[in-house]
Amino acid sequence: MCGIIGYTGPKSVVPILIEGLKKLEYRGYDSAGVAVVNKSKIQVRRVKGKIIGLEKNLKLSPLNGSYGVGHTRWATHGRPCEENAHPHQDCTGSIVVVHNGIIENYLPLKQKLKEEGHTFCTETDTEVIAHLVEKYFQSSLEEAVQQAVQELEGAYAIAVLSTRDLGKIVAAKDGPPVVVGLGDKENFVSSDINPLLNYTQKIVFLEDGEMAVIGTQGVKFCDFKGSVLEKKVEHITWSPLMIEKGGFKHFMLKEIFEQPQVVRDTLKGRISLDSGKICLDEIGITPESLKDITRAVIIACGTSYHAGLVGKYFLETIARVPVDVEFASEYRYREFILDEKTLVIVISQSGETADSLAALRAVKEKNPVSLAICNVVNSSIPRETDGVLYTHAGPEIGVAATKTFSAQLAALALLALHLAQVKGKINEKESLSFIESLQRIPHKMENILNQAKSIEELALEFVSFSHFLYLGRGVNFPVALEGALKLKEISYIHAEGYPGGEMKHGPIALIDEKMPTMTIVPRDGVYEKMLSNISEIKTRDGYILAVAFEDDEEIKEKVDKVIPIPSVHPLFTPFLATLPLQLFAYYIASKRGADVDQPRNLAKSVTVE
Ligand code: M6R
């Protein structure tokens, strides 16, 4: 939550900060601000609302400066308003701070600082940082920040500047991400790499307890005690084009359409069509360590959790390994039972989700084998697991996860096959059969996307509904959950996902002509059961849509509308069935005029509890 950015170099600083903030806006968008230094004077501009408002404000009344910092906020402490927007200042106005995270002990710190004579202007936790830096300032900004952070409890990625020590931005990290971009006579700090891609591909990732002192001529890295650090410079392969809309109305739509390629890219180089072998040498966990695994626990949040529920079916069916799937936010507080023969799989697109990271840290005390399935290279979660299986989805900007879900499914299918091979649970013929099915999925996804127009026409009939039910069984129950999540998060229509068989235990009471039901009904082992559930709804005047195999004639007689998908190995139906549900939600939300890429109250990376 929240995005921070900083720039120092010869270019005009405000446009770089604004462009950077737009690329970080997915992290939070209830207020924004910048601070720039001009001839030993700090100028701050803040607005309630989105970056576009800040940009307009700065056009009407421009700020000039040689370096500066910016912030886009997702409010945690203090309501979204101009006063609570970052950057925050000390009593003298000579120090400003932008912050991503939560300072948990801000109330006692604030009380103490007030007693010492500091005056506070906001309701935020962040403001204490500015006053602490003020308190400890003697000669250098980095020394003051080093002392200030000793007093902080919680999570923070901060960027600080001061007119008392000109020409530098000091960044510090404990929790949320901080990346430093190394350019040609210009340097950057940011919450992620997206704002930097137009300027440099040379990136340094800060670890917890590390700081960067960023100047135009160079960057110095040190720890919180001031010891100088040699940091590895990573070369990033993502290109600036990947974070453009490419002619689509929204990032979400572009990302939905990228799914065939994303699945291809995630499978590429990891499967052999000759031998049926899965090659995951890169993951950092040896086949020997995996061989002794007796169970797996998947930990995740949101859409990644739904991918985990599908993954349970893949792993249990293909590798015959029992799997529990857990919400990270619940699991971390449980008396969980794990041992060193448990494979803990943390699934996270961003690799920064606070609950997933905290759950990972909690389980590590029991010494399981830990694996991240993650999309962002070098993010916090894969840095703390024994191994990582990266999804090759490229940057996902839309707050609603779409292409990364498909990439996670591809990674989970690979993992299931790999585990099955390592444990001798599958023969070559069976392997080849699964691999061939997987290989055909991208093409089948393209066939579905080619029908987007007819899905749009169908979706438009439901724009004014207020409630929706999504039903699936078996491996498609998580698809129902994901379809419902997509609809509610981007269109604000109430939607519930349910296993079909649970209908008669309560939810069926909701059925009337105002509550349509979206069903996922491939011809699989529970097809007949789903037909019975459909019939139960139909007899109560419910309206039914069905995502079903295109060659299924029977279903057409049973439901009101069919959304056809190509037939596929039943276990892999989620790869295909999810796409029409994403499109259905997208077209409804878009028609309702919702802010599809940045739905209200949400942020892409939930880096606070
Ligand atoms: O980055 P992560 O995969 O850990 O994020 C998990 C959830 O925050 C995320 O999937 C969220 O639910 C999305 N809004 C879903 O579209």
Sheet containing strand 179-182, edge to edge, reads 41-48, 31-38, 67-73, 3-8, 187-190, 179-182, 202-205, 234-235
Residue 241's pLDDT is what? 74
> pLDDT confidence of 587, banded at 50, 70, 90?
very high
Average pLDDT for 328-342: 94
605 pLDDT more than 90? no
> pLDDT confidence of 569, banded at 50, 70, 90?
very high
Average pLDDT for 209-229: 95
Residue 273's pLDDT is what? 86
Is the bond leading into 442 cis (omega within 30 degrees of zero)?
no
Q: How far apart are CA 486 and CA 488, in angstroms?
A: 6
> pLDDT confidence of 440, banded at 50, 70, 90?
very high
Nearest CA to ligand 1 atom 7: 302
CA distances to 290, 297, 321, 338, 387 from 341, in Å: 9, 11, 11, 8, 15
Average pLDDT for 481-504: 96
Instruction: List, for residues 173-185, the tens digit of each pLDDT value.
Output: 998 899 999 999 9
Domain ranges of the chain: 3-244, 253-449, 452-591
Residue 438's pLDDT is what? 97
Helix (H) or strand (E) holding 26: none
Half-sphere exposure of 344 (CA within 13 A, CB side): 32
Residue 79's pLDDT is what? 85
Picking from 411, 96, 424, the residue whose alpha carbon sits closest to that of residue 280 is: 411
Residues whose beta carbon lies within 6 Å of some atom of ligand 1: 301-304, 348-350, 353, 356, 399-401, 489, 602, 605-606
Report the Cα 351 to chain-centroid distance in Å: 7
Please tell me what DSSP assigns to residue 269.
T
Task: Look up tokens 């529920």; give the residue.
Answer: 309
- Distance (angstroms) between ligand 1 centre and the Cα of 348 equals 7
> Global pTM?
0.84
- Distance (angstroms) between ligand 1 centre and the Cα of 604 equals 7
Q: Which among 403, 606, 608 is the best mutation to test ligand 1's pocket, defined by most ligand atoms within 8 Å of the CB?
A: 606
566 pLDDT more than 80? yes
Phi, psi (deg, nearest 5) at residue 3: -125, 140
Q: How wide is the angle at C-alpha 468 spanned by C-alphas 462 and 473, nearest 5°? A: 125
- Distance (angstroms) between ligand 1 centre and the Cα of 350 equals 8
Picking from 162, 156, 150, the residue whose alpha carbon sits closest to that of residue 213 is: 162
Please tell me what DSSP assigns to residue 317.
I
Residue 378's pLDDT is what? 84
Instruction: List, for residues 238-276, the tens digit of each pLDDT value.
Output: 777 777 888 899 999 999 999 999 999 999 999 998 888
Q: How far apart are CA 562 and CA 544, in angstroms?
A: 9
Residue 45's pLDDT is what? 96
Task: Quote the tokens at residue 336.
Answer: 């969980």
Task: Quote the tokens at residue 66.
Answer: 């040689």
What are residue 325's DSSP bridge partners?
A: 298
In CATH terms, are 3-244 and 452-591 the same topology? Answer: no
Average pLDDT for 272-286: 92
Q: Which among 1, 326, 349, 357 is the best mutation to test ligand 1's pocket, defined by most ligand atoms within 8 Å of the CB?
A: 349
377 pLDDT more than 90? no
- 452-591 has CATH 3.40.50.1370 classification: no
> pLDDT confidence of 597, banded at 50, 70, 90?
very high
Respond yes or no: is residue 2 known to be catalytic.
Answer: yes
Average pLDDT for 333-343: 94
Residue 147's pLDDT is what? 97
Q: How far apart are CA 516 and CA 495, in angstroms?
A: 10
Helix axes 573-591, 452-460, angle to 10 degrees: 50
Instruction: List, for residues 299-317, the tens digit of each pLDDT value.
Output: 999 999 999 999 999 999 9
The domain defined by 253-449 folds into Rossmann fold (3.40.50)
> pLDDT confidence of 191, banded at 50, 70, 90?
very high
Helix boundaries (H) for 450-526:
452-460, 477-491
- Distance (angstroms) between ligand 1 centre and the Cα of 195 equals 21
Helix (H) or strand (E) holding 592: none
- Distance (angstroms) between ligand 1 centre and the Cα of 328 equals 12
Residue 48, helix vs strand vs coil: strand
Nearest CA to ligand 1 atom 12: 302
> pLDDT confidence of 604, banded at 50, 70, 90?
confident
Residue 402's pLDDT is what? 98
Looking from the CA of residue 350, the nearest atom of ligand 1 is: 1
Mean pLDDT of the chain: 95
* Burial profile 497-507: b = 16 or more Cβ within 10 angstroms, e = fewer: bbbbbebeeeb
422 pLDDT more than 90? yes
The domain defined by 3-244 folds into Glutamine Phosphoribosylpyrophosphate, subunit 1, domain 1 (3.60.20)
